[in-house]
Structure 1
């Protein structure tokens, strides 16, 4: 099929730029417009066929001007703000996160519908569910309720997703994709934080038993899912309309093993392993929270971060496979290596050779 013109919000960011590249790869004839508050930079490469307009999605006037100018048939709304780790378990950024993630989404929906956009794909997050720190999540499905989130990011994404799904109609069908934790070339949060543990001497320490499984996804696979969703919503069937989908590599692994794989790519193996009992870590997190309450400073250690580190976090990919036809194009082992290679280039070091892996050649060679 031929994909109509697409407008991508946040298209200069980690996920948005990957979506633009995936569209350009599969639909080279498609006219792509990127709107973002920042212009394209060197880390997140955008395709040459994409045009850029500087837009703040919290300004309805700017959104109206951009959509009026481009008259794009499809909007892929990936713009949003993810609190940094030190702010993830607190409330200091609540108004900012809500303004961008919820009110910005409301602006995009309202203007898109009024301007005759034909399909709307929303980049949500698995955090609409897993940001409820009370529970573990094993092989969860889209039928699980999303109303119990206890963190500002998950709350904002759940509220925005509800707006998107409620707006779905015959004139402008919508759907929502819920990526898991992401990595890939251009990763600016997860991989750098894990790599930094080497220099800090933190790699031997494990909170809990280290056996909690997580979903981790290569950003290129998330981008592929967005293309499939857009194709579905402009097809005759529109089976994705009004639906939410968990998107991941469908290769759950323990978060400890994920960290070990990253450190191994940088030539580091922890010299020993020490397990910190979850109860002790939880108590330490409580003390850290009390300290930050008095001082007003952020912390990376809290009861929430301990629960997050110890809980199960993986979902079923059956609905996305059945309705969107989504399967991960790139395997997780390859994705970790490519992510580490990219980060090593950015910080100016060379990775040691990886035995048994031919760098640059896909181990999962399925293509479109």
Structure 2
């Protein structure tokens, strides 16, 4: 940890600060440096599931408006910017292009607005919340123990394309005056998660837990959101002192690859459910079923959770090497995978008003 006196003199602006990653970063930063002035901007007001500490300044700002962004920079006069704001398409839209213009406008043009304002207002450092998807959204490839030398794919899903384009803007903006870096979180879990654990939990009610697509042995990176928040604070500390992270991108994960099936089983177990039997569905057969579902929804105008993309996604191998983040940022996952799953399930159970399995009570 750097000198409290040095960091407590800084003014930090966190975009997307009422969201999942942004609010977690605010909580960690406020706890570690209680004298630091933190301002949060977001299109959405603070929400119950993403708790913010007291005395955090919040301003409603749409980052796609250069005028709004420039105005708030003039008010806050930040030394440090943490840019977590962005659109992550939900499951139904992840594999299509329906939200392409909205995702691009927010994730790329919004980032451009933030960078332009940072340069104009003399910001010292800029940390961007990128994503592992800058590489791994090309689902035609397996990603085993990849490092930051892997190039962004030329063919990808819209989310990965938008994050790769925004990340490039951030890293190209690195200079002696403005130090920049990008963090690439893996799939996230934790308190306030609205995509991963809720979707896996919903499989219980839909009687989908027995079905295994592919061999079920594909390893994924999953990360607790507090670990990602830690990485953001470490990046802020680095860029405020040694700047060895300047101009660099870092994969951030728990560094405990887990099979997607085992991750699902652990979540279901916390909710007292064990699949009564198992049925293995070959990937090719599931891919064909996904195509049929896509054709039906195209005709009916509905939505589907099963598609060719979701089948490839479920069978993908995606885990990264954490050496670079460990060596340069000093990052190590504070919350291990077992605890990450427990905390995620406990918070989600409380949110939906159910009691967890007695065998998992502490």
TM-score range, shorter chain: over 0.9
Does structure 1 residue 91 correspond to structure 2 residue 85? no
Are 1:16 and 2:42 an aligned pair? no
Q: Is the 8 A contact 1:31 1:49 kept in 2?
A: no
Work out the number of aligned pairs and report it.
356
User: Is the contact made by 1:185 and 1:343 (CA closer than 8 Å) also made in structure 2?
Assistant: yes
2:339 maps to 1:334: yes
RMSD: 1.0
Distance 1:273 1:332 in 2: 24
Would you say 1:254 and 2:244 are equivalent positions? no
Query: d(CA) in 2 for partners of 1:353 and 1:27?
Result: 38
- 1:98 and 1:156 in contact (8 A); partners too: yes
The answer to whether the 8 Å contact 1:209/1:275 transfers is yes
The separation in 2 between residues aligned to 1:243 and 1:296, in whole angstroms, is 43
User: How far off is 1:295 after superposition?
Assistant: 3.4
Q: How far off is 1:284 after superposition?
A: 1.1
TM-score when normalising by structure 2: 0.97
Equivalent pair of 2:269/2:357 in contact (CA under 8 Å):
no
Q: Which runs of structure 2 are paired with 1:1-368 in the superposition (5 Å)?
A: 1=3, 2-3=6-7, 4-235=10-241, 237-355=242-360, 358=362
Q: Report the CA distance between 1:199 and its aligned residue.
A: 0.5
SS in structure 2 at match of 1:191:
helix
1:64 is paired with a residue whose SS is helix
How far is the alpha carbon of 1:304 from its aligned partner?
A: 1.4
Contact 1:213-1:313 at 8 Å conserved across structures: yes
Take 2:314 and 2:48, find their aligned partners in 1: how far apart are those partners? 32
CA offsets 1:65-112 (integer angstroms, 9 cap, x no match): 111001110000000000110000000100000000000000000111
Q: CA deviation at 1:149?
A: 4.0
Q: Is the 8 Å Cα contact of residues 24 and 49 (structure 1) preserved in structure 2?
A: no
The answer to whether the 8 Å contact 2:130/2:183 transfers is yes
SS in structure 1 opposite 2:238? helix
Q: The residue matched to 2:126 in structure 1 has which SS?
A: strand
For residue 303 of structure 1, report the CA deviation from its aligned partner.
1.4
Q: Is the 8 A contact 2:125 2:240 kept in 1?
A: yes
Which residue of structure 2 aligns with residue 362 of structure 1? none
How far apart, in 2, do the equivalents of 1:56 and 1:116 lie? 21
**Partners in 2 of 1:197 and 1:328 — Cα distance?**
29
- Do 1:130 and 1:149's aligned partners in 2 also have CA atoms closer than 8 Å? no
- The runs of at least 4 consecutive aligned structure 1 residues that moved more than 4 Å come to none
Please give the secondary structure, in 2, of the residue aligned with 1:34: strand
Q: Distance in 2 between matches of 1:299 and 1:124?
A: 27
Unaligned runs of at least 5 residues, structure 1: 359-368
For 2:131 and 2:53, the matched residues in 1 are separated by 25
Q: Structure 2, unaligned stretches of length 5 or more? A: none
Contact 2:147 2:251 in 1 (8 A): yes
